[in-house]
Each structure stands twice: as C-alpha cells, then as structure tokens.
Structure 1
C-alpha cells in the first residue's frame, strides 16, 4: 500500500475510533443524567455535576438518543 494512502487510512481509522468513543461517552452521560433525574435529584444539581447549564441539560435530554454505528466501512 502506498505510504500516503496508508497514512490516510490510519488517520481515518483513528478518527472513526474517536468518534465511536465520543458517541459512547455521550450515551453514557445521557443514561447517567436520566438515572439522576429519575432518582429525583434536582435538575440544578444534575446540570452542575455535568458542567451544563439548565438549558443545556434539558436540550441534551430532549435530543433523540442514537447508538454508535456498528457499520464498518471497507478500506480498499
């Protein structure tokens, strides 16, 4: 494989991994936020713990949840 294409493939794979980890971390945060709210922790305390404003907290909870993509792309 050409070294330039190998560098592109490597960088692309690293970015995809980081995006997957970011998506997973976001899902984990949303789950934790939901659990805290269900446990009747005050929204202000939940927002502060997540370093969010109240409006950011509610926006995060309203946003549709997505699961990280398990689809793989071929690197030819």
Structure 2
C-alpha cells in the first residue's frame, strides 16, 4: 500500500513542479511582451516574435497573473 501512496505523492509533486515552472514561464513571457510593447514595437511584430496571433497576444496579456501559492488551509486534506 505504501508503495502506491509514494507513487501518488511523487506524481503529484512532479505535476506541481511543472505547474510552477509553467507559471514562471508565463510571467516571464508577459513581462517580455509588455516591455516590447512599452518601447513602441507594434503588437503584430511582438505577436510574431512570440509565435502568436495578435488576438493570442492580447488574450495572454489579459490572463490573470499567477496567484500566490495555496496554503494548507486552502486545500482539502484527508488526514
């Protein structure tokens, strides 16, 4: 039984790390997109550099920023 729970914990931890890395990458992308547009680069050029359409560019900029990590009180646990 313990072996299976260890596999669950390991898989869960791996997924959490990937989600964290994805959130960090998104934040870096949003920062770079904003900086490029702030210096006057046309949205079409910024979008092309990010391999996005202009619509995807603006949708990315509208996406809510990463929320702070959940605390133990925010998650349900079976003790």
| TM-score normalised by the chain length of structure 1 | 0.85
With over 3 angstroms needed to count, the CA separation of the structure-2 counterparts of 1:68 and 1:48, relative to structure 1, is farther
CA RMSD of aligned residues (A): 2.0
Question: 1:63 Cα shift?
Answer: 2.1
Asked if the contact 1:23/1:67 (under 8 Å) is kept, the reply is no
In structure 1, what is the equivalent of residue 62 of structure 2? 62
Paired with 2:47 and 2:68, the residues of 1 have a C-alpha distance of 24
Question: 1:71 Cα shift?
Answer: 4.0
In structure 2, what is the equivalent of residue 48 of structure 1? 48
In structure 1, what is the equivalent of residue 36 of structure 2? 36
Relative contact order, higher structure (CA 8 A, sep 6+): 1
Hey, which bits of structure 1, 4+ residues long, moved more than 3 A?
Answer: 70-74
Please, which runs of 5 or more residues in structure 1 have no aligned partner?
Answer: none
Paired with 2:25 and 2:70, the residues of 1 have a C-alpha distance of 15
Asked if the contact 1:44/1:54 (under 8 Å) is kept, the reply is yes
**Equivalenced residues, count:** 75
